[in-house]
Amino acid sequence: MKVGITLPLAEYPGKQPSYDEIRALARQAEVAGFDSLWCFDHLLFREDGEPAEGIWECWTTLSALAEATSRIQLGTLVLCTAFRNPAVLAKMAVTLDSISNGRLILGLGAGWHRPEFEAFGIDFDHRVARFEEAVHIIASLLRTGKAEFDGRHSWVHGGELRPRGVRPAGPPLLIGGSGPRMLRATARHADLWNGCWFGDPAGFVPALHAVRVACTAAGRDPSTLRVTVGVNVVPGVPAGPPDPRRPVLSGTPADLAAGFAGYRDLGADHLVCNLNPHHAAAQRALAEALRRYRSEPGPTEEGPVR
C-alpha cells in the first residue's frame, strides 16, 4: 500500500502558507519516502457569519511542485470539473504529466462548497450532471486522444489531444465521491476511487462496500478499481472517543502504523494522510509512523481481504 500526504494550501487553521513553505514541505516528504503529494482544489472557504478563508490555486501549485520534486507522485484531491473547461483540463493534465515525467494522478470531483462557486461566477446547479458530462469528455481525450460529444452542459466537436504526452492512455483517472451517481461514474470511468475523510479503519468499511457494489452493478470486477482513502491524522495525540463530525487517526507512531496496516488489510491501495495543522515537525512524526509501518511484516501470502 502506498502512503501519501496532503499539502497545506489554505489559511486554515493558521496563516496562509507561502509557496516557499509548501515547497519545503513537499521536498521534505519526498526525502522521507512518502509515495505521493496531494493538493486540494478550492477557490475560497466562506461560512455564514464568518470571514472568508483563502487558498492558493491547486493546479498552479501542483505545476510548480512538478519541477520542485523528482520522484514522488502528484495528485489532485480532487480537481473540481466545474472550475475548468473539461477538454482544456485534459490538455492541462497531459502537459503536467509530461512535465513531471508521468507522476500525475488526476483526481476529479463535482465540488460541494456553494459559496466559492457563487464568489467566482460558476454555476452550482446540476453539479453531478455537469460532472458526468465533463468526465466523459476528459476520459475519452486522455485514453484515445479524441472526443466527440454533445451534452446539455458541455460539448466538443473534433476534440483532439496533441501531443499525447508521456503515457499512451494519459495519467490515471481518480474520482472522489460517495453518492450513487458519483459511484456509477467511478465504476464506468475511473482507474482509482477515493473515499474520505476517515479515522479508524473500521469507519471506512461501509464506503468501501458501496463502491464495490457499484462496480458489480455496472458489470465491472471491483478488483480492477484501485482504492485510495483519505485519513485525518494527528500524530502524538492520544486516541480519544470517536468524533463522527471529524474522524481522526491519532496516537504514537506505532498506533498510526497499526492504523495504516488496518487500511491495507481492508484492501486499500493508497493512503492519503491529511495533517492539520501541517508543519515540518508534524510531518516528521508521520514519517516515523510510515517507517514503522514499512518495517513490520506485511499481509499473509493470501494477501489482503478484498
* CA dihedral of residues 207, 192, 79, 199 (deg, nearest 10): 40
| DSSP code at position 143 | H
Q: Over the chain (306 residues), what is each successive 10-residue block's mean pLDDT?
A: 97 87 98 98 92 95 98 98 98 98 98 96 97 98 97 97 94 96 97 97 96 98 98 85 81 96 98 94 97 83 40
Average pLDDT of the chain to the nearest whole number: 94
pLDDT for the residue numbered 299: 63
Output the CA angle 57-7-129, nearest 5 degrees: 55
Cα 63 to Cα 104: distance, rounded to the nearest angstrom = 10
Query: What is the predicted pLDDT for the residue at 242?
Result: 65
Q: What is the distance between the alpha carbons of residues 120 and 108, in angstroms, rounded to a whole number?
A: 19
Task: Let me know how many helices (H) and strands (E) the chain has, helices first.
Answer: 9, 12
3-class DSSP state of 190: coil
The pTM of the full predicted model, rounded to 2 decimals, is 0.94
CB atoms within 10 A of CB 115: 15
Tell me the per-residue pLDDT of 172-221, one tens digit each, with 9 for 90 and over.
999 999 999 999 999 999 999 999 999 999 999 999 999 999 999 999 99
Q: What pLDDT, on the 0 to 100 scale, is given for residue 13?
A: 72
pLDDT at 145: 97
* Residue 304, pLDDT score: 42
Angle of helix 58-68 relative to helix 86-99, nearest 10 degrees, comes to 20
* Residue showing cell 489559511: 11
Residue type, 163: P
SS3 135: helix
Contact criterion met (CB below 8 Å) for 38 and 272: yes
For residue 209, give the amino acid letter: H
Rounded to an integer, what distance in angstroms lies between the CA atom of residue 231 and that of residue 248?
7
- Do residues 3 and 273 touch, judged by C-beta distance below 8 A? yes
DSSP designation for 42? -
- Residue-wise pLDDT tens digits, 224-246: 999 999 999 999 877 666 677 78
**What pLDDT is attached to residue 4?**
98
Which residues are CB-contacts of 258 (< 8 A; sequence separation ≥ 6)? none
Q: What are the helix (H) ranges across 153-252?
A: 180-189, 205-217
In the chain the first and final C-alpha atoms are separated, in Å, by 14
pLDDT of residue 238: 78
Cα–Cα distance for residue pair 28/204, rounded to 1 Å: 29
Between 19-32 and 280-295, two packed helices, what is the crossing angle to 10 degrees? 20
Can you tell me the distance from the alpha carbon of 47 to that of 229, in angstroms, rounded to the nearest whole number? 26
SS3 (DSSP) at 104: strand
Which pLDDT score is estimated for 73? 98
Among 187, 86, 182, 78, residue whose Cα is nearest residue 141? 86
Rg (alpha carbons) of the chain, rounded to whole number: 19
Q: Are 44 and 53 in contact (CB under 8 A)?
A: yes
